[in-house]
Structure 1
Amino acid sequence: MTSDILYKIDLAGTSNIIQLSKPERQIALDLLSLSKIMAKDVELTQPLLERLCVALAPHKRLPEELLSEIFVLCMPCAAIIVPPIVGEHTPWTLRRVCAPWRRIALGESRLWNNLQLRRPFSWDLKGEKLQKYLEHLQREIVHPTLPISFDFYGSEPTGAFVSTVRAYFLQPDLHRFRHLSMGDTHSINEVLRISGTSLANLSSLTISSNSASAINSLSRPVPLFQNGLASLRRLKLELGNPRAELLVPPNIPWHQLTDLMLSTPSSMFNVAFLDVLSAAKTLRQCNSLVRCCIAVNPRAKSNEVTNDTVIKPVSLPTLRAFELLCVPKTHVSTPGANDPVVPFLDALEVPALVELRIRGYNAPNQHATLSALVHRSSCSLRVCELLGDERLGYPRGVFPESSRL
């Protein structure tokens, strides 16, 4: 009898467990049905969401080839300089684009063609510093396709360092050089003497020196210019000696330049650079310029220009930004005084000009002269400024809004 009771109790417990498990099975079935419904709903709504995203962002409908072209056009026109410690930095462009554009950029070879390694090269490097520098150069050679930007500055060179320069400039990878920046006669002469045709891909050249001989050395027949600079687009010549007389280098391919600066260091605004006639003659050869900054000395002894002088037209059809630096103390006190800047501005033809800045020029008829330039060229200026030298009491003003076109 006892066994019968235990058996009955066991059967009753099993029956209760079975009854409790039925709702759980039903819940599992309901969840399975719900997941199927949700999956089907996703299949129906996903295309709609994609169409809405495309409508809100039309660029997503464009092929990657076209997006790649847009990306290249939006890149900075100047080279992206990679700092010496590359590991601590990322290229400027890649830090400012979203993930899809970054993926396109990483696959775009033209982005990498716009990167440059910048190497400061100083005559003052000696001993351990020189050894570390040479180690940097050896590591750079491991990357045979990355363009290089080189800066040469310093004092008197030593024999060992001149040998180092020669050794590096005789390397077979000089075609990687895109920018050269030099600041003393020794480095300029040494580089120009041994470079020859190896710098055919050089696109930017900067020479900044207090000595006119450093820049005038470019006027001599040298291999770099004799053999051509087919890729040169940007040229910057800075002269810091107010008593130096500059010879405009005739061997430079002026016709292919897009960026030109014949100027002075910003800290030396009172430096005489070119006379008006030399400036006009130089610009007349630069018919592809987009940006230009040039310093002139209206009172240079070589000027034979009066208010009645007619300078041959200087046509710059693609010029968009022009800055003219005049030596201070050129203020014309009386309307009849000689003002060589007037014939110079009258000779300019700049139909594409949008930015015009003139510094250090203060004359009674300056607004009339600039108005005539704007009307004659039929250009649409967005920025037109007259900036005097405040240290000498010259006013700082903006070209009147009513005179703009």
Structure 2
Amino acid sequence: MKHCLEDLNIENLNIEMLHTQTGSGSPTKHVDEGFEYVRRVAPWETPQKHVPPEILGKIFVHCLDGEAVFIPPKASPSMPWLLGQICSRWRTIALEEHQLWDNVVIASCKFFPRLALEEVIRRSGESRIINLNHVPGEYFKIILPTLRRHCNRFQSLEIEITRPTATLLSEMCLFDRLESLEIHYGHALHTPNSDDPSRTEFSAPPSLRKLILSSDISDHLPLNNTRINPAAPFWERLTYLEVKNNTCVPIFTMLHILGQCKALVECSLLLCDDSGSIRDESERVTVPSLQLITAQSVDPILTDFFASLNLPSLRILKMVGLSEPWPQHEILALIDRSGCNLEGFYNADFTMPPECVMPLIRAMPCVAHVSLDTDAPIPCSTIDTIISENLLPYLVFVTAWFDSSHAALKLVETTWARSVSPGGGIRDGVLYIDSADIRADEEACRVLKRVVSQSGGSLGISVC
């Protein structure tokens, strides 16, 4: 802002003063009138100069809207960098407004001065959310003394390192207010003189609620090559656990950990085989609060994994993998142990035979979201049985491969017609429909149009 209007008024005032000096009238009167006009309109022309700092600070926080502040700034700077370019007053307010510095991302920058990091942490006030991204292992060691001094200021810590450091794993317990921790191990793990994480016990503060672990390489991983202490207090209080990418955890190790996660609500796991013996039924692992589990595996081990679990609060089950054969008995038994209260079932890249669909549907009377990846189309007889027996009464989302497009559309219409609440029935999802089947059946065409119209466009129709 260049105060253009104010400058224009002053210029007009100078012109008028020159006119009065060369003509008739009182120069003093014209000058007084001109300055009075400028004084009167200035607050409207340059409002940023008159709004109190505390109100401007609130406006800045609202404009930021949770956006992360990148240090150093990206090519397209975000708040508060842009605010600081308006004028010196705005820059001062932006620098001192603690909430603008709550979510700071320090990008990959080996030579970012430690003193500058101190200043960033100071500006974040007491609100504690600092994310460190793409931090090389050797640089993490450099800034670790600074982090130690402010360890009680962090609620969220996200670190991506290119070298496993035993120091990192052992220091996490110092962050006694840490609630969310994400550690990603990048490439270049086999570097000379690198620390061996297998000699270090992974630990975290009791305040931790969310833990995400990932790696680009499956050799050096926090859970594979690091000593695990399942008795550590943070496992008991953890509510979210995600192990992804190449961080493939041996099934026996994962069961050992889950046995301590009494408060766990959601988890996503990439599992692999190991030499550990699987527990028998009398030693099933109970995770009392777990409501959503995503299990992925490239080994045929999910059968043993599901057979070893007891999940009384389970609501959503997601399966991703290439395991064979389909673990029907173990899945049905797990659902039964969960009280048959499953509300969502998803499987992808883990094809199930069509004949397994009906037993699964009968086991889930409360299910609302279903995504089935079958190795063949679901036959018309299955759909007719679902309709005639009034199964799937709460269904609102479906993704499946049906043998008959007409029968599939009939299922959709039936759920709408029998829905207890207005607007109920299937209203989201994807139906895979054979185009030749539709063209050969005029009634199917009419049903298709009604279905799409009633769904308001939220139901996807994929014509093959």
- Name the TM-score, length of structure 1 as normaliser: 0.55
| 1:175 CA displacement | 1.0
Matches within 5 A, 1:321-332: 321-327=292-298, 330=300
CA distance in 2, matches of 1:377, 1:162: 44
2:305 matched to 1:344? yes
Which residue of structure 2 aligns with residue 207 of structure 1?
183
2:99 matched to 1:118? no
2:205 matched to 1:229? yes
Task: Compare CA radii of gyration and give the structure with the larger one.
Answer: 1
Match of 2:319, SS?
Answer: strand
Residue type of the partner of 1:202?
Answer: L
Q: 1:147 to 1:88 in 2, by over 3 A?
A: same
Which residue of structure 1 aligns with residue 134 of structure 2?
153
Q: 1:320 to 1:147 in 2, by over 3 A?
A: same
Contact 1:352 1:379 in 2 (8 A): no
2:236 matched to 1:255? yes
Contact 1:169 1:194 in 2 (8 A): no
Which residue of structure 2 aligns with residue 282 of structure 1?
257
Which residue of structure 1 aligns with residue 18 of structure 2?
none
2:329 matched to 1:368? yes
2:161 matched to 1:184? yes
Match of 1:86, SS?
Answer: coil
Q: 1:156 to 1:229 in 2, by over 3 A?
A: closer
| 1:137 CA displacement | 4.6
2:380 matched to 1:404? no
Q: 1:396 to 1:125 in 2, by over 3 A?
A: farther
Query: Which deviations, in whole Å up to 9, do the C-alpha atoms of 1:327-349 show, x marking residues without a partner?
Result: 25x3xxxxxxxxx4323212211
CA distance in 2, matches of 1:234, 1:313: 24
Residue type of the partner of 1:254?
Answer: W
Which residue of structure 1 aligns with residue 376 of structure 2?
none
CA distance in 2, matches of 1:164, 1:244: 22
CA distance in 2, matches of 1:142, 1:154: 21
Query: Which deviations, in whole Å up to 9, do the C-alpha atoms of 1:205-236 show, x marking residues without a partner?
Result: 111115499997286258xx4xx612111111
CA distance in 2, matches of 1:383, 1:212: 42
Measured on the aligned residues, the alpha-carbon RMSD in Å equals 4.0
Contact 1:322 1:357 in 2 (8 A): yes
Question: Which of these residues, 214, 222, 225, is aligned with residue 238 of structure 1?
Answer: 214
Residue type of the partner of 1:383?
Answer: G
Count of aligned pairs between the two proteins: 268
2:372 matched to 1:387? no
| 1:361 CA displacement | 4.5
| 1:184 CA displacement | 2.6
**Structure with bigger RCO (C-alpha 8 Å, 6+ apart):** 1
2:137 matched to 1:144? no
CA distance in 2, matches of 1:141, 1:274: 38
Residue type of the partner of 2:143?
Answer: V
Contact 2:164 2:195 in 1 (8 A): no
2:330 matched to 1:359? no
Which residue of structure 2 aligns with residue 103 of structure 1?
none
Match of 1:356, SS?
Answer: strand
| 1:193 CA displacement | 6.0
Deviates more, 1:347-356 or 1:186-195: 186-195
Q: 1:233 to 1:359 in 2, by over 3 A?
A: same
Contact 2:214 2:243 in 1 (8 A): yes
2:83 matched to 1:87? no
CA distance in 1, matches of 2:156, 2:181: 6
Match of 1:385, SS?
Answer: strand
CA distance in 2, matches of 1:285, 1:212: 32
Which residue of structure 1 aligns with residue 458 of structure 2?
none
CA distance in 2, matches of 1:220, 1:366: 37
Contact 1:219 1:249 in 2 (8 A): yes
2:151 matched to 1:174? yes
- Name the TM-score, length of structure 2 as normaliser: 0.49
Contact 1:216 1:249 in 2 (8 A): no
Residue type of the partner of 2:260?
Answer: Q
Match of 1:231, SS?
Answer: coil
Question: Which of these residues, 197, 200, 203, is aligned with residue 217 of structure 1?
Answer: 197
CA distance in 2, matches of 1:367, 1:348: 15
CA distance in 2, matches of 1:163, 1:304: 39
| 1:120 CA displacement | 2.3
| 1:244 CA displacement | 5.1
Flag structure 1 segments of 5+ consecutive residues without an equivalent.
Answer: 1-78, 91-111, 266-270, 331-339
Residue type of the partner of 1:204?
Answer: S
Query: Which deviations, in whole Å up to 9, do the C-alpha atoms of 1:226-285 show, x marking residues without a partner?
Result: xx612111111113324557136424521110001122x2xxxxx472222222111111
Which residue of structure 1 aligns with residue 11 of structure 2?
none
Contact 1:215 1:237 in 2 (8 A): no
Residue type of the partner of 2:331?
Answer: L
Residue type of the partner of 2:197?
Answer: S
Flag structure 2 segments of 5+ consecutive residues without an equivalent.
Answer: 1-64, 71-77, 84-97, 366-464
